[in-house]
Amino acid sequence: MQASEVNIPDLLELEKKVYQGKQPWSSFSFASELRKKHNSLYLVIYDKAQLVGFIGGRFIPCEGHITNIAVDPTYQGQGIGHYLINLIVEIARKNGARQVSLEVRADNELAQKIYKGLGFEAQFIRAGYYQDDHMDAINMVLHLKGKEDTK
**Which strand (E) or helix (H) includes residue 140?**
strand 137-143
- Annotation says 75 is catalytic: no
Q: Which residues, 6 or more positions from 33, have their beta carbon under 8 angstroms from its beta carbon?
A: 40, 42, 56, 67
Compute CA 24 distance to the chain's CA centroid, rounded to the nearest angstrom.
Answer: 13
Other CB atoms within 10 A of residue 105 CB: 16
- Annotation says 115 is catalytic: yes
In angstroms, the CA 64 to CA 58 distance is 6
Q: Which of 13, 103, 121, 148 is catalytic?
A: 103
Contact 69, 58 (CB under 8 A): no
Residues in the chain: 151
Q: Which of 42, 83, 115, 129 is catalytic?
A: 115
Q: Which residue numbers are catalytic?
A: 103, 115
